[in-house]
Amino acid sequence: MPNASTLQFLLTLAKGIASQFGPNCEVVVHDLATNDPERSIVAIENGHVTGRKVGDGPSHVVLEALRGNPEQLHDHLSYLTRTKDGKTLKSTTIYIRDDDGAPIGIFGINYDITLMLAMENAIKQFTATERDEKEPEPIARNVSDLLDELIEQSVKVVGKPVALMNKEDKVKAVQFLNETGAFLITKSGDRVCKFFGISKYTLYSYIDESKA
């Protein structure tokens, strides 16, 4: 966890940003150094934007930080995300690092632009403004939703439904889940095995095979 002075600064900054930009602006602080990564949120303002609260679990970027190479982690500025209930958010993710450069926290800003996009669509014929049509990255409300989304993404990576997957396809899907940190989630192995119709032993062998 960030030291007391750093954490207090982040809390003050979160309150200030949320107050400045109003109730559509969620500001969240994740603790990456906690012993319980499934409850990484230590502070959040305007949590109604994503439906999260203090003590809730990780997002995709949190799993990326926990699973990935710290030297390859970079701040993400002004990118699109979406909530499970269909809100589109403009998000920024900033990694908080210790004196050695290791990520110990995440400071995130999520601004609900759903209404603005609706207004943009309504006047698009007059403005003729192009916008980024890239698929927004989902924001899970809890670890169960997050795991479901990662499993869904693994199927998209393979490009065919589970019923048509062969061994190589399933190895590829398991490799994606392993690389995205899905197996950091408690009991994720059981759900992955059930989804792909494989045993625990087979799952472990697929993980080892993907590493090789």
pLDDT tens string 66-101: 776 777 788 989 999 988 888 999 999 999 988 888
The tokens describing 165, both together, are 């997957």
For the cut 70, the answer to whether the pLDDT of residue 131 exceeds it is no
The residue extents of the domains of the chain are 4-139, 143-211
**Options 3.40.190.10, 3.30.450.20, 3.30.450.40, 1.20.200.10; CATH of 4-139:** 3.30.450.20
157: its two tokens? 């990576």
Q: What does the mean pLDDT of the chain come to?
A: 86
Res 2: pLDDT: 66
Q: What is the pLDDT of residues 7-62, one digit of tens each?
A: 899 999 999 999 999 999 999 999 888 767 778 899 999 999 999 999 887 777 77
Q: Which residues share a beta bridge with 89?
A: 81, 112
The gap between the terminal CA atoms of the chain, to the nearest Å, is 34
Predicted TM-score of the model (pTM): 0.66
> β-pairing, 137-139 with 25-31?
unpaired
- Answer positive or negative: Cα dihedral of 81, 87, 92, 95: negative
Q: How far apart (Å, rounded) are the C-alpha atoms in residues 183 and 208?
A: 13
- Distance between CA atoms of 18 and 14, rounded to whole angstroms? 6
C-alpha 28 chain-centroid distance: 12
